[in-house]
């Protein structure tokens, strides 16, 4: 069979085939470069305590619930009005880790007995000098993200501290 006959049978000649293969390789290379760049510039989540933590999706937290996010050392409280607030688990007295007291529905420090209420984190008993510190919350595309690198010390509670979806 002559080359001329071969060209008639095949829809692509060798030059066209090599051109398409070269373009496909180039497209794959550009795709990998774009994916790597996107990965590099996207916000870094779940770096652990001190960074931004992805707590979960809004619908995972029921109104009136207190949720410990261990990796971020905070309680994500979803109040009855559906607003969110994130309390640092650290006591504002001398820094002990404060557990949630299910029975009394508050936060009760085991070290010297400070008690903080569950919706505002305000001191309702004991020696703590100020409410529980909070972390900034962002809700993006239904995801609740908490920045544990920027704790906020408060003198008192205000409505601006609550974040809504
Ligand atoms: Fe919590 Fe003292 S450290 S009450």
pLDDT at residue number 154: 97
Single out the residue of 91, 136, 129, 92 nearest to residue 110, CA to CA.
Answer: 91
Among 111, 115, 132, which is best to mutate for testing ligand 1, by the most ligand atoms less than 8 A from CB?
111
Residue whose CA is at the smallest distance from ligand 1 atom 4: 112
- pLDDT average per 10 residues of sequence, the chain (165 residues): 54 79 83 62 67 96 97 97 97 98 98 97 98 98 96 97 96
DSSP string of 44-108, one letter each residue: -B---TTSEEEEEEGGGS-TTEEEEEGGGTEEEEE-TTS-EEEEESB-TTT-PBPPEETTTTEEE
Residues having CB closer than 6 A to ligand 1 are: 91, 93-94, 96, 109, 111-114, 126-128
| pTM for this prediction | 0.74
Asked whether 53 and 150 are in contact (CB, 8 A), the reply is no
Distance 86 CA to ligand 1 centre (A): 19
Q: Which of 87, 100, 101, 109 for a ligand 1 pocket mutation test, highest count of atoms within 8 Å of Cβ? A: 109
């Amino acid at each position: 069979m002559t080359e001329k006959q071969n060209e008639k049978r095949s829809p692509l000649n060798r030059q066209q085939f090599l051109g398409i293969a070269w373009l496909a390789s180039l497209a794959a290379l550009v795709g990998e470069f774009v994916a790597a760049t996107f990965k590099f510039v996207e916000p870094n989540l779940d770096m652990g305590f001190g960074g931004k933590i992805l707590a979960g999706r809004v619908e995972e937290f029921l109104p009136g619930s207190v949720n410990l996010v261990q990796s971020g050392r905070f309680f994500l409280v979803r109040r009855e009005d559906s607003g969110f607030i994130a309390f640092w688990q650290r006591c504002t007295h001398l820094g002990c880790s404060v557990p949630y007291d299910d029975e009394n529905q508050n936060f009760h420090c085991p070290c010297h007995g400070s008690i903080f209420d569950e919706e505002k984190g305000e001191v309702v008993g004991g020696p703590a000098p100020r409410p529980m510190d909070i972390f900034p919350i962002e809700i993006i595309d239904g995801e609740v993200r908490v920045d544990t690198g920027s704790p906020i010390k408060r003198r008192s509670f205000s409505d601006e501290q609550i974040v809504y979806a």
